[in-house]
Every structure is written in C-alpha cells, then in structure tokens.
Amino acid sequence: MNVSELAKEWKETQLDSRVLPARLQDEYQFESCLKYTQEQQVYKLLRINDHTPFLLKVAQDEAAPILKTEYRFLFELDFPFLPNTMDCFEEVGRVYLLREYLSGETLYELVENQGALPSDKAVLLTLSVCQMLHCLHTRKPPLIHRDIKPQNILYSPQGTCYLLDVGSIRQYVPDKSQDTVVMLTQATAAPEQFGFWQSDMRTDVYAVGKLLYYLLTAHFSADEPDLSEVPKSLHHVLRKCLSFSPQKRYQSVASLEKVLCRWHRLHNWHPALLPLTGFILLGCGMAFGFLMGRLTAPILPAEMVLPANVPAETALPAETSTASVTFAEPKIEEAVRLILRKGSDEPISPKDLGMISEIYICGNEVYPDAQSHEQASYSHWIENEPMGTIRTLEDLLLMPNLATVVLDRQPIWDLEPFTKLPWLETLSLCRCLVRDIAPLARCPWLEELYLHGNPLRDLSPVSDFQKLKTLVIPQTRVTDISALQGMKLERLDTAHLEIEDYSVLETLSLRDFASVNLPESMLPSLSRMTRLENLSFFQGRYHDLRSLSTLPALRILNVTQCEIDDYSDMSGFPHLFYLNLSEQKIENLIPFLALAELEYLVLSDTIVEKISSLPQFTHLVELTVDENLAERIAQTFPGVEFPFQIIVN
C-alpha cells in the first residue's frame, strides 16, 4: 500500500469519524479544514452519493451561542445573498451548523492576492454590500449586522457577493443606550461598539466605509485614515462614513448607496464590471439596475422621481461635449475651479461640471470641502460680516449632480432654482435673505437645511419636506414650530428664537437638539425624547438637570452660559461622554465624579470655587479651561501630572 492509499484509509477510518458527528457520518465525508481555532472550526465536506460540497461549522464554549444565532437568522431570512442552511444541532457539548458551500474568494483574499482594487470596482463591490445591509435594515424590527468586514464577504466566480457570517446580527432596539459587547473585529468596529453609544444602522455604515477604504488601499484605516491613496472624489464619502459621531455619518445605507451610485455614474463606466452587482434585490423592495444598453442614463434609485419641470435627460450633461462653459457668477466659477483644480485659463466642459457634487461658498470665500467650510461657519453668528455678491443661480443648473450646496451670506431669496437640482440633499443658505421656503418641497431628496440668520417667519411649508432630517434655523424670525409635528427630524437647532410653545418636541424623535433660553417647564418634554444623543441649551436658568436623567442615549451635553442652582446629583447620566459647563459658576467638581464615562469636560470662563477633586478624574481624557483656571490649577497642584490632557483656550 503506497503513501496516498495509506493517507486515504486514515482519512476515511480516523479523521472522518473525529471531525464528523454521528449524525452526519453516513451521508458526508471530510474534504478539508478551512479554519481552525480553539473555539471554532470550519470544514469542507462532500456528500457521499453525489460529491456535492457543503460547509460545516463547529463551535464550542463562547462561540457556540453565536453559531446558534447564525443558524436562526440563516433559517429565518430568505435573501439571495445568504447561503442556504441544512441543519444545526448540538452533540457532545459542540454546536454543528451545516450549510451550502459557496465557491469563490472573500474580498479580503481578493485584495491580498491582487492588491488595491481600481476605484470603480471597489465602489461596485461596496454597493453590493450596501444592498445586503439595506435588506437587513429595512426588516421590522431592523437588523444590524455589526461585523461587516472583507473576510465576511464572498465574491463568487459568477460575480455575485454573499454575506458569509451573520452570527453577530442583532435586532435594533431604539431605547437601549449601549450594546452587549460581542466578539468584535477591532479593525472595522465602529466607536459605539466599544461602549460609546448603542449600535444602530449607522454602525454598519461605518463598517462599509472601512471596507471601501480597504478595497481602495489594501490596508485598514487608522482612526484618521490616510486618504493619499484614495481618489479625491471619494474623500468626502469616506470621511463621512468614518466620522466618530454617528450623527455625522450617512444616516442610512440607502443614503450612502445613492452617493456611490452617483459617483459611479460619473466615473469610468465599464460594462464588463456590471456583473459585480450580482443580484437585483426586488424582494427587499430595492431594484438596483445598471440600465444595460443605456449607459448614458443616470443611475436613479427605484424610488427616485425627478421634479416634473426637470426632463430626465438633463440629469447628466452630455459626456461627449467638450465645449467650454461660461459662468454668470465669478465666485461660483472660482469655487468650481478650486474643486476641479483648474487654472483660470483652463476651459471647463459640461462633462467637468457633471463631476461636481458639492460646492461651498461663504460670503466672498470659497472652500474645497465641508471640513474647510465648517471651520469658517462661526461667522454665521456675526451679523455684520460682509455679504457675498452672488445674485443669480443659473450657474448651478450647469451642475445637475449637485448634492450639497452651500451659499452662505449671499443676497439670495428666490429658492425656485434649487428645485431644478434633482439630487440636492444638503442646502445651506445661512445669513441670506430667505423668507419663503415653500419651493423646497419640490426637492425630493432634501435631507439637511441650514437657514441660520434669515428673515424667515413662516415654517409651515416644512411639513411637506418628506425626507428632511436636519433643520437649523437659529436667529430667524420663526415663532411657531408646530409645523414640525410628527416629522422624522433627527437634528433641530432653534437657538435665539422666541418660541412660546415647544410641545411639538414631544412628537419628534430627535438625536440632536439645541436651543437658547429654553423654559425650565420644557425639560420634562425633552426627557421623553429617548433617542436624544446630543443636547445643547444656552442662557437658561434651571434648578437642576434631574429631569433629563431619563435620556438613555444622551452622550453629549452642552449647558453653556446657564445658571443651574443644583449640580449635586449627576448620577442619572451614566453614559455622558462630553460635558460643556462654560461661562457659569460651579461650587465644586465632586458631583461630576459620578459620570463614569465622561472623557471630555469643558470649563472655559467657568468659575469653579473648589478644584481639589480634580486629580480624581482618572477616566477623563481631556479638560478644556481658560487661562485663569489653568493658572489656578498649576498653583494648586504644583508638579502634578494629571491622567488627562489640559487644553487652554
């Protein structure tokens, strides 16, 4: 008997019986070991009668419940991107899961073998993952995957993507403040999975951003990803996906998918890559088609309806046109050239303008991206800053794929032109002359609206803004916010408004709320907003904050310039992560020691009578103080090295 025959006999008589439980030994035989750890093993099996391959997962100890969860979801969820499951049972302290074997390689193996992928292929693969997550997120109740990573996505030879591991899925429960910590993949896990907030659909958005970054660069990002290897046109997408705060990410995979669809339409169409989409998820209510044979047409989500006054063929410029465009507004031209990196003498074609998805102008300054503009947005609070000179918006219509338009401090009042931008999602017109917002009801994708410092009085049209999630209206003339009744807003800023009735807040499910001089009688209404994560109120007077202790998701609290009589009991805020107590008087810091998860404390221009407890804040990461308090700390604790960083502003 030769060596191969001996090996075969040993496999059939010894190995098969050791690997296979008694329940499977008559029908299956061992083929190979795909993965082996102390807690979990994965084997490839062959069915004896026809040699069909199957996959067997074996788990014990802490991994066993996860494998049971995986079986439950595979059994319950009838999605084309999940493998079919055959059996799951427990035998001699081990859990066995038998499912179909899928050929192909994981996205991790694909990148490790080929290196970083071309951007168009990386985006298409990411879109397939967005489709999978959309199906999970739109279940009732929603399902969150929590462990999207390249090792969990299989790419088949037919160009179809499959989701391999669903053991970390859980149902989203809005009232939970934190997650049960599971076996996380540290390289792709979102911050909230380490206890900052509870995970939700935006947790998966973060992981998709990590996945896209990996596909583009062949390595995983750090907390601040190096985007030098990433196409500039995807920088904003990745920064938004990978924001530390869930509020700053895309709020759904559908929103992210829409952005990536638009990106792919504008960059490098390759029909050969179309099979990467793999499947059309009609069963999820989501038809994702790339319109074979009509590659000049825009990719429109199934539910997208262009405004009636915008012909579909104008949604994208003619790609063959090379004619140079002439602008009516010099400042808009300057902003476009900044984004395109074109000199003043270089021609700009309609195709160039079709690649513009965002534009940022504040007064007479132009900015290349949202981050640069955000650093200058403090000027919105300054009334006498100079206005810009933009009066006509006809140049915007040359850029039909605009999704973000920032035209702050401009003599603009007519919003009708914005209805001709079918992709418009974010509109900022701070310190303009806007009085009537009714036309914006015809912007079907508008999600964020910033109107700081406008002479706006009537907010009633906003009730027709079907997708609006962010509304920022401080220092306007609005006195009645009843039109917000029952809207799906997530962020609302009503600072410096003379509002008498805030009762409408009880009908909202806000994550972020800001106000000035909020009556103390309204604090109980805020306490019923169980999704609230970020709360800011200024210049108010309150006896204490105990009524807010019922907010399970609250992580950020800003009470600048407030007079609060009693801080003695802060134990009701166990998950507070950031606290700003600037410009007020505080007797001592001892009550704040009860904030076990507090990492950032701001005491700028704050009078603190007693600071002796400061060294006890061992969990603090950063303390921000003014120069006077910094000097006092140095005098009180000479030579002391605090366990946190002190920032002087």
Band (pLDDT 50/70/90 cuts) for residue 159 is confident
Distance CA 326, CA 559 (A): 49
- Tokens 């962020």 locate to 491
pLDDT at position 507 over 80: yes
**Strands across the sheet with 85-91, in order?**
28-36, 40-47, 53-59, 94-100, 85-91
Which helix (H) or strand (E) segment holds residue 400: the answer is: none
DSSP state of 335: H
What is the identity of the amino acid at 554? L
Q: Report the candidate in 226, 230, 229, 252 with the shortest Cα–Cα distance to residue 241.
A: 252
Give yes or no for residue 179 having a pLDDT over 60: no
CATH superfamily placement of domain 105-303: Transferase(Phosphotransferase) domain 1 (1.10.510.10)
Angle between the N-to-C axes of helices 119-137 and 201-217, in degrees from 0 to 180, rounded to the nearest 10:
160
State the DSSP H helix or E strand holding residue 100, giving kind and residue range, or none if neither. strand 94-100
Q: What CATH number belongs to 313-478?
A: 3.80.10.10
Q: Are strands 105-106 and 153-155 parallel, antiparallel or unpaired?
A: antiparallel
**What integer is the mean pLDDT of 53-60?**
92
pLDDT at 248: 83
Which residue in the block uniquely carries the two structure tokens 């907003």? 529
pLDDT bin (cut points 50, 70, 90) of residue 307 is very low
Given this model, what pLDDT does residue 108 score?
94
Residue 261 CA, distance from chain mean position: 17
HSE on the CB side for 587, CA within 13 Å? 7
The gap from C-alpha 288 to its chain's centroid, in whole angstroms, comes to 21
Q: In the structure encoding, which two tokens stand for residue 118, read together?
A: 């071309």
Which of the listed ranges 45-49, 280-284, 288-292 does the model predict with the highest average pLDDT? 45-49
**Mean pLDDT confidence for 630-639:** 93
Using the Cα atoms of residue 358, residue 363, residue 368 and residue 370 in order, give the sign of their dihedral: negative
Query: With DSSP H G I counted as helix, E B as strand and the rest as coil, what are the percentages for the chain, rounded to 5?
Result: 35, 20, 50
Q: Indicate whether 418 pLDDT > 50.
A: yes
Tokens of 615: 């060294």
Q: Residue 253 contacts by C-beta under 8 Å, 6 or more apart in sequence?
A: 130, 133, 134, 137, 201, 204, 205, 208
| Domain definitions of the chain by residue range | 3-100, 105-303, 313-478
**Contacts with 542 (C-beta within 8 Å, 6 or more apart), sequence order:** 520, 523, 562, 563, 564, 565
In tens, the pLDDT along 90-114 reads 888 899 999 999 999 999 999 999 9
Question: What is the structure's pLDDT at 463?
Answer: 93
344-356 b/e (C-beta count within 10 Å ≥ 16 → b)? eeeebbbbbbbbb
pLDDT at site 295? 26
**What one-letter code names the amino acid at 511?**
R
Domains 105-303 and 313-478 share a fold: no
Over range 525-533, report the average pLDDT. 84
In the predicted model, what is the mean pLDDT of residues 480-502? 91
Kindly give the residue spans of alpha helices, DSSP state H, lying in 413-565. Answer: 523-526
Q: For residue range 540-591, what is the model confidence (pLDDT) as tens digits?
A: 899 998 888 888 889 999 999 999 999 988 888 888 989 999 999 999 999 9
* Nearest residue to 152 via CA among 109, 122, 197, 195: 109
Q: State phi, psi for 111 to the nearest 5 degrees.
A: -70, -40
Residue 247 pLDDT greater than 60, yes or no: yes
What pLDDT sits at residue 318? 37
**Going by C-beta distance under 8 Å and a sequence separation of 6 or more, which residues neighbour residue 527?**
547, 548, 549, 550, 551
What is the radius of gyration, based on Cα positions, of the chain?
A: 28
Domain 3-100 is found in CATH 3.30.200.20 = yes
